[in-house]
């Protein structure tokens, strides 16, 4: 019943905001759910698809939720290529081989003996325990080989004796908590990396948390890569990562012009609780209207890297703007396409994406 109450409240808010009656809303919801992309009821509201100001009837029909995000990913990305993105050791090893800038890996913990390049390798829990007790180098950023949404990540600044470590937020991380995360089997090992130093312009705008831009690159029928949209995952000082988590993390999202790198819109979350901002809540610096540094280099970097992953026709690159230029932080698949659609207030399925889907009918 709580979900029904929520949807009833949503419909009342939409009626007050747009003048659209509940009957009109229900008819539109049914049409979109029966349509090609199977948009869900909550998605109709929370992704702002109800708003006729930004979404025409034709655009609404091209809007996605999680169901079609999954379907499009399955069509455009071959299963046997997924490990090249989702396995961070393999992804970094390939990028290092091809000469692309990536974070510097200082040490890899891998029970199976894998590593990115020539960094130190630890294979056993005893080796790892000894390293964490005496040899850990600070500052250090630690993340799982297989991980999503920032789970299992740490950004440590210094040791606190037997009590553990101090992280970038000023919080204490116990040695046992770190060891437990590193040895969690679902993570398949850990990467210990030298923390990225962000471009000074970016630090001034958003603070020390590394805030990546997500560049979505599509490979055309001819294999040529093109940046189809971009958004900035804007971190807060209280967070270790820039993950948005539908606004629950407190981080922000910024819509970025693919042509100029200009930030055009910033949000705190989805409808109806999310709000728009023009500045960063920690630094008070204006975000809307700024242009990210080295934008054309970042776009070219992603497109050049994308050509080496031809089995992934829809690639999600996280790029950081460092003091030494753009750096490829990671490549992702299986992303939720509804959130950037809400942020940019435009349907994800364009003529280009539609042509790709039509050219590769599968599953």
| Sequential DSSP letters for 241-273 | S---GGGTTS-EEEEE-TTT-BEEEEESSSTTT
Which pLDDT value is given to residue 147? 83
Q: In 3D, which of 243, 139, 238, 150 has the Cα closest to residue 192?
A: 139
pLDDT for the residue numbered 43: 96
- If one counts every other C-beta atom within 10 angstroms of the C-beta of residue 275, the result is 11
Neighbouring C-beta atoms of residue 127, cutoff 10 Å: 13
Tokens for 273, please give them.
Answer: 């609780």
- Helices 351-359 and 66-76, packing angle to 10 deg: 60
Helix (H, G, I), strand (E, B) or coil at 106: strand
- Cβ burial of 80 (10 Å; 0-12, 13-18, 19+) is exposed
Measured at the CA of 297, the angle between CA 293 and CA 298, to 5 degrees, comes to 75
Percent of residues, the chain, with pLDDT higher than 90:
87
pLDDT of residue 227: 97
3-class DSSP state of 25: helix
Beta bridge partners of 142: 154, 192
Q: Which two tokens stand for residue 28?
A: 């539109």
For residue 315, the tally of other CB atoms under 10 A from its CB is 23
Considering the entire predicted model, what is its pTM?
Answer: 0.93
Q: DSSP 3-state assignment of 120?
A: strand
CA distance 74 to 83: 14
Measured distance between the N- and C-terminal CA atoms of the chain, rounded to whole angstroms: 35
Residue 1 pLDDT: 54
| Rounded Cα distance, 6 and 127, in Å | 51
Beta bridge partners of 172: 166
Residue 206's SS3 state is helix
Cβ-based neighbour number of residue 214 at 10 Å: 22
Residues in the chain with pLDDT values less than 70: 1, 360-363
At residue 362, the pLDDT reads 42
């Amino acid at each position: 019943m709580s979900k029904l109450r929520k949807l009833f409240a949503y419909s009342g808010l939409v009626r007050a905001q747009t003048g659209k009656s509940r009957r009109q809303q229900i008819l539109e919801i049914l049409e979109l759910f029966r349509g090609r992309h199977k948009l869900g009821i909550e998605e109709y509201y929370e992704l702002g698809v109800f708003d006729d100001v930004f979404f025409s009837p034709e655009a609404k029909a091209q809007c996605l939720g999680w169901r079609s995000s999954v379907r499009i990913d399955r069509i455009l990305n071959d299963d046997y290529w997924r490990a090249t993105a989702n396995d961070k050791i393999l992804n970094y090893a390939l990028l290092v081989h091809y000469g692309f800038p990536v974070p510097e890996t200082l040490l890899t913990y891998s029970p199976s003996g894998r590593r990115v390049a020539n960094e130190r390798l630890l294979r056993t829990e005893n080796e790892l325990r000894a390293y964490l007790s005496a040899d850990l180098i600070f500052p250090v950023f630690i993340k799982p080989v297989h991980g999503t949404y920032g789970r299992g990540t740490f950004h440590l600044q210094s040791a606190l004796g037997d009590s553990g470590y101090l992280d970038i937020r000023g919080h204490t991380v116990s040695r046992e908590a770190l060891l437990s995360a590193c040895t969690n089997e679902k993570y398949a090992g850990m990467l210990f990396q030298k923390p990225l130093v962000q471009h000074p312009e970016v630090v001034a705008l958003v603070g020390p948390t590394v805030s990546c831009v997500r560049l979505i690159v599509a490979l055309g029928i001819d294999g040529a890569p093109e940046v189809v949209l971009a958004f900035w995952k804007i971190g807060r000082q209280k967070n270790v990562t820039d993950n948005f988590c539908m606004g629950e993390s407190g981080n922000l999202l910024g819509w970025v012009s693919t042509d100029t790198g200009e930030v055009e819109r910033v949000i705190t979350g989805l409808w109806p609780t999310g709000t728009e901002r023009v500045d960063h809540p920690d630094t008070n610096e204006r975000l809307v209207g700024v242009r990210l540094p080295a934008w054309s280099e970042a776009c070219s970097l992603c497109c050049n890297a994308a050509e080496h992953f031809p089995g992934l026709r829809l690639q999600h690159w996280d790029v950081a703007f460092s003091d030494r230029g753009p750096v490829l932080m990671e490549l992702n698949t299986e992303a939720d396409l509804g959130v950037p659609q809400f942020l940019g207030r435009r349907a994800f399925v364009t003529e280009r994406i539609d042509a790709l889907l039509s050219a590769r009918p599968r599953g």
